[in-house]
Structure 1
């Protein structure tokens, strides 16, 4: 609000499980990944490129009227109610 008129936009990207060096040990845990997969609307954990593409969009002129958002980049996990698929 303070600097919007100066062209400053502030947004956050909120990724869920993403394949990185920090999550290597998690990716090797088949039971854990199976539980995550129950909640992903899209296929499996994200890739760094999935998150990077959203960041690039938010930094681009295409998002020139987007500010103040916390954008989930989570394959639909935040839309899940936690119940196993039917």
Structure 2
């Protein structure tokens, strides 16, 4: 995902201070490179509560996001790969 979309997601949810704090780490690690929808980042930021007064390390932030993104992808694929069973077989 491009940098402008990522920044817009943080700005939309009120967490621009996190983007300002970690923008270099986002770029270097490519944490959002595999994210195809801005809504995933918005959903993540709306699901967690971050406070600008509490210290947060990038490692913690990336762990939380990677867990969220993994569970999102797993749920997406599990519904996609869900087999259709014939009721007459069982």
Which TM-score applies when normalising by structure 2? 0.26
Q: Which has the higher contact order (CA 8 A, sep 6+)?
A: 1
More strand by share: 1
Rg (Cα) greater in structure? 2
Structure showing the higher helix proportion among its residues: 2
